[in-house]
Amino acid sequence: MLAMDQGVVEDWLSEFKTLPDSAVFSYATSLKDKGALVPALYKVIRENYSDLLEPVCHQLFEFYRSGEPQLQRFTLQFLPELLWSLLSVSAARDPHTSGCIEALLLGIYNLEIVDKDGQSKVLSFTVPSLSKPSVYHEPSAIGSMALTEGALATHGLSRVVYSGPHLQRETFTAQNRFEVLTFLLLCYNAALSYMTATSLQSLCQLSSRVCICGYPRQQMRRYKGISTRLTVTSEFLVQLITGIHYALCNGEVELGSKALDDVLYRAQLELFPEALLVGNAIKSSLHSAALKSNNKEGARSIQVEITPTSSRISRNAVTSLSIRGHRWKRHDAVDLGSPDELMDISEVDEGVWPSGVGPDMTPPTITISNSVTTLNLGAKAMKKCRLSGRTSKDKDKEAGPLTAGRAASENTELAIKRLTLTTSQSVPKAGALTSLTRTASAVFSRSFEQVASNNAPPSSNHNASEAGRYSCSLQEEGLGYLSPTPNHTQRSPSISVHLGSDF
Amino acid sequence: MTARKSGSRLETEIERCRSEAQWDKIPELVRQLSAKLISNDDLGELLLGECKLQTYLKENPIKQGASPRGPRPKLVEVRKHLTAALDRGNLKADYIQEASLLMAKLCYVEGEYRDALDHYNRVNLDDMQLVGAPVYRLSMIAEAYATKGLCLEKVPASSPSLSNKNTGSPSSNRSTTEREQEIITCYEKSGDIALLYLQEAEKALSAGIQNRSPKPGPTAPDQELGYFLETGLQRAHVIHFKNGNLTQGVGRFREILRAVETRTTQNLRMTIARQLAEILLRGMCEQSYWSPLEDPPTVSPLDDPTRQGHTHSKNYSLSRRPRVYSGENLFCPQENTEEALLLLLISESMANRDAVLSRIPEHNNDRIISLQSASVVYDLLTIALGRRGQYEMLSECLERAMKFAFEEFHLWYQLALSLMAAGKSARAVKVLKECIRLKPDDPTIPLLAVKLCIGPLHWLDEGECFGKMVIDMGEKAAEFRAKGYLAIGLVYSLKATDASLRSTQEDYQRKALGAFQRAQSLSPTDHLAAFYLALQLAVSRQIPEALGYVRQALQLQGDDVHSLHLLALLLSAQKHYHDALNIIEMALSEYPENFNLLYTKVKLESMCRGPEEALLTCKHMLQIWKSFYNLTNPSDSGRGSSLLDRAIADRRQLNAMTLPDFSDPETGSVHATSIAASRVEQALSEVASSLQSSAPKHGPLHPWMTLAQIWLHAAEVYISMSKPAEASACTQEAANLFPTSHNVLYMKGQIAELRGNIDEAKRWYEEALSINPTHVKTMQRLGLILHQLQRYSLSEKVLRDAVQVNSTAHDVWNSLGEVLQAQGNAAAATECFLTALELEASSPILPFTIIPRAL
């Protein structure tokens, strides 16, 4: 360590002590201008045995405790370096334990886990839900949402805790080490935008080293420090990845991608699904971004270009949206001529439901119009395929108020082949699948429920023979669950399949 | 169109055609118009000029990034029409403005930027009325602002005559700043008016449909924005980001997104929502975030510091703005991850809607496009949710991505990983199988599957298959080969524990040992390989060899809790109880909250230091338990505020469950017969881990199970002190939690024995066995009681069964010997005693298998 550096650090150590409270803010702002200070402090932390380490750690803690955000960030920028110092010493089983670094880190941790009143702090966030209006959307425009257990559980907005409450810690043990360090990284990540390039580089280095030390890859990276393996936890790696992601996108492309690779390598060896998940996602998203723009422009890789606003998907491809235009509903088996008419009728039906005939027995009918001979239910055909059935009036009433609102909103979207719904046909799924059902369910995934009637109709068409009856419930799933009507089983299904050859 | 339309109807029709961009109908309408009144000629010229210009632009669209240049022969006519319209000066003021705007646009198309600007300056765009303007004029004004912006960008700022507001002569730097500001303002106004126009156009369209016949005419073609509106909507934020002005760019994004969507803006919204989410996730952090309804911070680290002075503030107002989402209780995100998540969910719903389902070759390209745009969104969702540990929700989102996933490895793999992280193990294994099919060379995937099979699922046969896959990869698996042997070794080791036949048991033990040795030789620096080798050796009672390997493991990883625990147990097997206790205490200094270590400590203490010390440890355990689980956790506010409350809610279910064995061979891993109990345990652990990510992952899985075990340990200590009352109280505490646990019943039996109630004890033991027929300790006690009751042959039967289940239980062999002796079978008895003696010499204080075996 050069005498000059030492001088800079010593000056810094003495300055703050004599500072009146009122001058803290301006002092914090002026810290940026001390160019030689930060590198000198890095040196102190790296050289574990420096006499200055203890006063420096103490001072950094004082900064953190002052509560002044700028001073706190000043301390935080050294966090990656401090973490590495702590981990490498503990891995090397160095008798010179870095007590003051431990104390500093524990001090920050214990400050951060409580709020201003000394109560345990919990960090939480709200999981947004598309079913509630937000500043960016209106639920009615979103269309169908899969009705899953999870979706029901988080219906509305629920706050979810992602960290805390945490216990106060007086010492580092093998058991709590990573819990504390993970939390510290979380604090660091919360201030990422304020971190300097040096700090981000240090974070990338920390990540690489923690992950590869003691593994064959260490030789590849030519890192000659300690060579014992360091234990890590999946959560710790996820927090590291979050920081690396920021570094990658904000100038540290080379170090960042190296670090990401190393973390993924370790996550694979440890079989940590969480870290693999997030790491893979980052890699894949950056990969596609890199494909889009090859220019490595400047420090930030946040670029935006003017993009064409029209859909890039050709209009005659069958998409989830276009296939929704086909109403799979129960209705007297109406034979429809052309696809256009089909649309019209769907729209007319929107508000007024044809009154059902009740649970009478209708023999199953399968009408195949347009003289298509094979039931080729490829996606193309699906587009023209329509199953209709009969619904009962009483159920419709139950569903009435809810449908009305939606129907109104859908009126504006007539031109879109938008999902229109038979409200009341879903019943908890049961029963056999046929090839038709399978095709359909593969295509729609969860978009509809299959209902198999116990009295499978005798049918000339094997495709529909066991399927019984489908109901497509894209928007009103909830209703289906709420009003399962036993008389479903009484009525036999009628399916009319429309196949067009013009698509 | 035979009947002449009356004037007003004709005008309405013209307005409609202009709004709906049906330029081909204009010439006919103009013909009708000029036939009516001679003064309409000028208007006719205007309309013809417009329609020809628009038709030209439709046929020769300007591409983004390309700048138009030079006069076009086809446009000569347009200029003629427009000049004619303007020159005579008979037009109404509104139409003159329109003609000027069209003229300016024409100038731009021909590359005459200065002329265009002159026209705009003459009209003064800011004076044009937005309120009450017909729909087409909104579009015209929006285009005009965009075009003006484009022109200003082309014309160098140095020529002061063009800057209409800035007539002074400030420093050139200042003027470039103002120029930039002017350009951006033009684009932002253009964008705002464009959004307003699109909203109005859609309103008019739907009104038109409702008014007209029930049968809508040919569906209106998808409105296309065209070059100028597209530029107007997007150029402002592009400039912001190019200038490193993130705060403003984000602000502009949010303004666009807050405007109520129209069909035409859907794609734009999807793109912008995704881009904003990207920025929130890649370029922001909690501390630099501001919510959409707040003012942006004046100084932000997000902005390029070298351009700090260049920040512009929005300084214009429009008489009419696009409608924004409004209403009560609108959700407004408060944190960057929240906002990113909301945006991504919106993008996801749109991307999902565009999923191309058809698989015919012609749609290959469409499919790739839809897949790409969706996978970007899903990747970002993964990043956002992963950061917050919401794997459950993530797995549901990724499941929705499955309609894109046919033969797409990345999506399948991410789903599998998310299911695994969410604790949905069985489904994860199924999805992993598909991943293996798609990428058979990746050793990580089968290893992940084995991890689940060994751990929560206990699907040992499946696990064996997956393990073999890795081994079969041979050298290709590289560093994972050792891991593969480790995995298969664990499978065999667990199978050995499950096996009921002694020969199969030994067979599996041998195989396990071989696999561990292989793993250890392949990866000599892996402490896990050495550790499991040691554990396997210990289970087969090769104590000195096991000690050697456990020392090796500890050299590689000095603070590994399981290695330390195993070392202590090995020392206890050699009857070095004090050394063992020292090791345990050392381990506890690093893992003070590890209940497994504490259980062993209780046992060792009652052995070395007397039961009082052991009781103190039990008390300490109860304190730890309380501090550990009593922290309030409002994460599931609806379902109770703390882990404890939550657990109490689960008690109803718990009553019907059994407490898994604790100080039994089966504890560390699951025995085949107690699989039902293990399922319960698994279910509970999923509940517990879904509560919060920081829930303890090690040790017994459910807080209530831990508590019951602590009470039972205390009861055992009291029994060894011959204090039946206290033991009974402790047992009762456990019984309150798990009334039907065989361990509780066993303990009750022991207390009854202590009190001398042989019959009662026998009843308890029989009840315990009816719940868990392979509980060796109960079998041993029952055998002894039957012996005392002189029912030798039944006793022998029970004890032989016990030996069959666990052939290393020396006290069972001993009891068996006694029974055989009582029956007069001295030779067999001797053999049993010898076996017991031999086993006792290597018997640890608690079975080695309490150490969990997991990958």
Domain definitions of chain B by residue range: 265-296+332-440, 593-774, 776-855
Shortest CA distance from A439: residue in chain B: B357
Do the Cβ atoms of B483 and A269 come within 8 Å?
Answer: yes
Q: Give A125→chain B minimum CA distance, Å.
A: 7
Q: Give A149→chain B minimum CA distance, Å.
A: 10
* pLDDT at residue B737, as a whole number: 81
The predicted model gives B427-442 an average pLDDT of 95
For residues B156 and A285, give the distance between their C-alpha atoms in angstroms, rounded to a whole number: 39
* pLDDT at residue B305, as a whole number: 66
Q: Report DSSP letters for A143-162, one per residue.
A: ------HHHHHT-S-EEEEE
Shortest CA distance from B217: residue in chain A: A415
Tokens 């090859």 locate to: A294
Shortest CA distance from B643: residue in chain A: A165
Helical H segments across A37-176, by residue range: 37-46, 53-65, 69-76, 79-91, 99-112, 139-142, 149-153
Of A158, A194, A309, the CB nearest to B288: A194
Collect all residues of chain B within an 8 Å Cβ-Cβ radius of residue A199.
Answer: none
Best mutation target, A122, A135, A412, to test chain B (most B CBs within 10 A)? A135
Do the Cβ atoms of A133 and B330 come within 8 Å?
Answer: yes
Do the Cβ atoms of A245 and B393 come within 8 Å?
Answer: no
Q: How many CB pairs under 8 A join A and B?
A: 350
Q: Report DSSP letters for B443-456, one per residue.
A: THHHHHHHHHIIII
Of B257, B267, B631, the CB nearest to A311: B267
For B214-233, write each residue's pLDDT tens digit.
Answer: 444 444 455 677 888 888 99
Q: Is the pLDDT reported for residue B73 higher than 90?
A: no
CATH architecture assignment, domain B265-296+332-440: Alpha Horseshoe (1.25)
Which of B844, B80, B165 shows the shortest CA–CA distance to B535? B844
Residues in chain A: 503
Shortest CA distance from B232: residue in chain A: A306
Do the Cβ atoms of A379 and B358 come within 8 Å?
Answer: yes
Using an 8 Å Cβ cutoff, are B464 and B488 in contact? yes
For residues B753 and B733, give the distance between their C-alpha atoms in angstroms, rounded to a whole number: 19
Mean pLDDT over all residues of chain B?
82
* pLDDT at residue B453, as a whole number: 94
For residues B424 and A150, give the distance between their C-alpha atoms in angstroms, rounded to a whole number: 13
Q: Greater confidence, B182 or A91?
A: B182
The predicted model gives B285-292 an average pLDDT of 91
Q: A367: which strand partners?
A: A496
Collect all residues of chain B within an 8 Å Cβ-Cβ radius of residue A445.
Answer: 399-400, 402-403
Q: Helix, strand, or coil here: A124?
A: strand
Q: Give B604→chain A minimum CA distance, Å.
A: 22
Confidence of residue B653 (pLDDT cuts 50, 70, 90): very low
**A contact residues 49-68, partner B, Cβ 8 Å cutoff:** none
Do the Cβ atoms of A318 and B358 come within 8 Å?
Answer: yes
Do the Cβ atoms of B592 and A173 come within 8 Å?
Answer: yes
Q: Give B711→chain A minimum CA distance, Å.
A: 24
The CATH classification number of B776-855 equals 1.25.40.10
For B499-557, write each residue's pLDDT tens digit.
Answer: 877 889 899 999 999 999 999 999 998 999 999 999 999 998 999 999 999 999 999 98
**Interface contact A379, partner B, CB < 8 A:** yes
Q: Is the pLDDT reported for residue B161 higher than 80?
A: no
- Terminal-residue alpha carbon distance, chain A: 77
Using an 8 Å Cβ cutoff, are A209 and A264 in contact? no
Collect all residues of chain A within an 8 Å Cβ-Cβ radius of residue B644.
Answer: none
* pLDDT at residue A143, as a whole number: 63
**Interface contact A19, partner B, CB < 8 A:** no
Task: Read off the amino acid at residue B515.
Answer: A
Task: Read off the amino acid at residue B88.
Answer: R
Q: Give A282→chain B minimum CA distance, Å.
A: 7
Of A135, A190, A193, the CB nearest to B302: A193
Q: Greater confidence, B610 or A404?
A: B610
ipTM of model: 0.87
Using an 8 Å Cβ cutoff, are A446 and A149 in contact? no
Of A135, A143, A319, the CB nearest to B349: A143
Fold match flag (B265-296+332-440 vs B776-855): yes
Shortest CA distance from A378: residue in chain B: B358
* pLDDT at residue B462, as a whole number: 94
Q: Give A135→chain B minimum CA distance, Å.
A: 6
Shortest CA distance from A311: residue in chain B: B267
Using an 8 Å Cβ cutoff, are B492 and B515 in contact? yes
Best mutation target, B243, B379, B408, to test chain A (most A CBs within 10 A)? B379
Of A274, A277, A303, the CB nearest to B241: A303
Q: Give A41→chain B minimum CA distance, Å.
A: 23
Q: How large is the C-alpha radius of gyration of chain B?
A: 40
Do the Cβ atoms of B281 and A302 come within 8 Å?
Answer: no
pLDDT-above-70 percentage for chain B: 84
**Interface contact A137, partner B, CB < 8 A:** yes
The predicted model gives B432-444 an average pLDDT of 95
Tokens encoding A174: 């093998």
Of A229, A278, A344, the CB nearest to B386: A278
**Interface contact A125, partner B, CB < 8 A:** yes
Series of mean pLDDT values for 10-residue runs along chain A (503 residues): 80 84 85 86 84 90 91 94 89 72 94 88 85 86 62 65 83 90 95 93 94 86 81 94 93 91 94 96 82 45 68 72 61 44 38 38 38 37 40 43 44 38 36 39 37 40 41 37 40 41 41
**Interface contact A411, partner B, CB < 8 A:** yes
Q: Greater confidence, B821 or B69?
A: B821
Q: Greater confidence, B95 or A276?
A: A276
**Interface contact A271, partner B, CB < 8 A:** yes
- Tell me which range, A403-412, B15-24, B616-625, is most confidently predicted by mean pLDDT: B616-625
Provide, for chain B, the percentages of residues in helix, strand and coil under a 3-state DSSP scheme, each rounded to the nearest 5: 70, 0, 25
Tokens encoding B789: 């009751």
Collect all residues of chain B within an 8 Å Cβ-Cβ radius of residue A161.
Answer: 633-635, 692
**Interface contact A165, partner B, CB < 8 A:** yes
**Interface contact A282, partner B, CB < 8 A:** yes
Of A135, A159, A238, the CB nearest to B386: A238
Do the Cβ atoms of B283 and A137 come within 8 Å?
Answer: no
Do the Cβ atoms of B335 and A125 come within 8 Å?
Answer: yes
Confidence of residue B166 (pLDDT cuts 50, 70, 90): very low
Tokens encoding A183: 């939390």
Collect all residues of chain A within an 8 Å Cβ-Cβ radius of residue B349.
Answer: 130, 142-143, 145
Best mutation target, B417, B432, B454, B589, to test chain A (most A CBs within 10 A)? B417
Q: Is the pLDDT reported for residue B679 higher than 60?
A: no
Q: Greater confidence, A499 or B734?
A: B734
CATH architecture assignment, domain B593-774: Alpha Horseshoe (1.25)
* pLDDT at residue A23, as a whole number: 84
Q: Give A323→chain B minimum CA distance, Å.
A: 9
Collect all residues of chain A within an 8 Å Cβ-Cβ radius of residue B382.
Answer: 277-278, 280-281
Using an 8 Å Cβ cutoff, are B547 and B530 in contact? no
Q: Give B695→chain A minimum CA distance, Å.
A: 10
* pLDDT at residue A74, as a whole number: 94
Q: Helix, strand, or coil here: B669?
A: coil
Do the Cβ atoms of A135 and B234 come within 8 Å?
Answer: no
Do the Cβ atoms of A273 and B420 come within 8 Å?
Answer: yes
For residues A102 and A5, give the distance between their C-alpha atoms in angstroms, rounded to a whole number: 24
